[in-house]
């Protein structure tokens, strides 16, 4: 395996370029990549989407396909990167299913899926490498994300499937692309729902004001995101803490797309954030700092080698059940 993932540091670098007549009509991403050969076109596109590229005299985030005009002055903000590696670690995993091609685990809240800034060790990938060996996972995503086909957030618990080889990875990735994988979540939402079920269809992208957050973005940079929800149980109240008073609802959610933080952003967008979500929910409350009450409770997919439909379910963990007990009074 080779290093294909880098760690973004807090150190920034500013770059500028002024384009002339010879650049007229070129796409913005292509022109920047041509001017700065050390930046791949894919990284330039990431920078544009995250708000790291500005055209002087023009407001808002430009589109990657915007056409260059002579005299355009581009300002780029780069977060410097250093190579990141994943090493085997002896960390227990809750393995739900395993064969020669795939492994399904029930991830605990507080565990990151793969190494990243601030979480270089102690991740699911480190645990998998310790359990299976360094060459026992697919190589598609490089040395830092071996076998990782999809992710769930650090403070989200529940089911995750990992590919042991490239055939399995390709088969699972194809199903995610075709939206044929069944992914369902349970969440405790702050607030009441008037309807019994509904759909949130709102594009998501990097929040230009906070690079740690995602946001609904209908301007260039937003990608289609669709979340379906239905009410499982209408709960009581949890008085005594700012941001935690009022009604709560236990809901089930299914993903039609799989964007970063999708459920959390979508529920916050309709003013029904996930209980305990410090990034998108109330800043203060009885459960602040403990993590969101969001659990990946069901996962179904076709086995990438045999075609057999595999379906798994996971009951909410103890802390989740205890909160439900309190809210039911």
**Which residues form the catalytic set?**
153
Q: Burial level of 213, CB count in 10 A (0-12/13-18/19+)?
A: middle
Degrees, nearest 5: CA angle 245-247-251: 130
Q: How far is CA 194 from CA 43, 231, 249, 251, 285, in A?
A: 43, 10, 11, 13, 24
CA atoms of 153 and 291, how far apart (whole Å)? 10
DSSP string of 187-215, one letter each residue: EEEES--SSSEEEEE--EEE-TT-TT-EE
Beta strands in 61-111 (DSSP E): 73-83, 95-98, 102-107
Task: Extract the tokens encoding 85.
Answer: 């590696």
Degrees, nearest 5: CA angle 15-21-25: 85
Task: Extract the tokens encoding 16.
Answer: 């500028």
Nearest alpha-carbon partner for 136 in 126, 147, 145, 144: 147
């Amino acid at each position: 395996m080779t290093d294909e993932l880098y760690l973004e540091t807090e150190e920034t670098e500013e770059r500028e370029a002024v384009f002339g007549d010879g650049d007229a009509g070129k796409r913005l991403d292509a022109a920047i990549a041509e001017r700065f050969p050390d930046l791949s076109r894919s990284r330039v596109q990431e920078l544009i989407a995250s708000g790291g590229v500005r055209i002087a005299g023009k407001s808002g985030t430009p589109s990657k396909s915007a056409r260059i005009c002579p005299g355009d002055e581009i300002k780029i903000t780069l977060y410097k990167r250093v190579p990141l590696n994943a090493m085997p670690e002896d960390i227990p995993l809750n393995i739900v299913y395993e064969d020669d091609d795939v492994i399904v685990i029930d991830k605990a809240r507080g565990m990151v899926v793969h190494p990243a800034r601030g979480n270089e060790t102690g991740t699911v990938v480190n645990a998998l490498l310790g359990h299976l060996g360094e060459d026992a996972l697919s190589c598609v995503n490089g040395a830092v994300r071996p076998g990782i086909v999809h992710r769930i957030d650090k403070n989200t618990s529940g089911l995750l499937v990992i590919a042991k080889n490239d055939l399995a990875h390709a088969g699972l990735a194809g199903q995610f692309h075709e939206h044929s994988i069944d992914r369902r979540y349970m969440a405790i939402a702050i607030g009441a729902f008037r309807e019994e079920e509904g759909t949130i269809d709102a594009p998501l992208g990097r929040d230009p004001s906070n690079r740690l957050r995602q946001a609904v973005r209908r301007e260039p940079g937003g990608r289609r995101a669709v979340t379906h929800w239905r009410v499982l149980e209408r709960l009581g109240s949890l008085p005594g803490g700012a941001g935690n008073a009022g009604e709560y609802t236990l809901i089930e959610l299914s993903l039609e797309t799989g964007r970063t933080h999708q459920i959390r952003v979508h529920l916050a967008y309709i003013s029904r954030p996930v209980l305990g979500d410090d990034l998108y929910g109330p800043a203060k409350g009885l459960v602040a700092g403990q993590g969101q009450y969001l659990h990946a409770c069901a996962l179904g997919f076709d086995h990438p080698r045999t075609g057999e439909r595999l379906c798994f379910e996971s009951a909410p963990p103890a802390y989740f059940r205890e909160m439900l007990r309190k809210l039911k009074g």
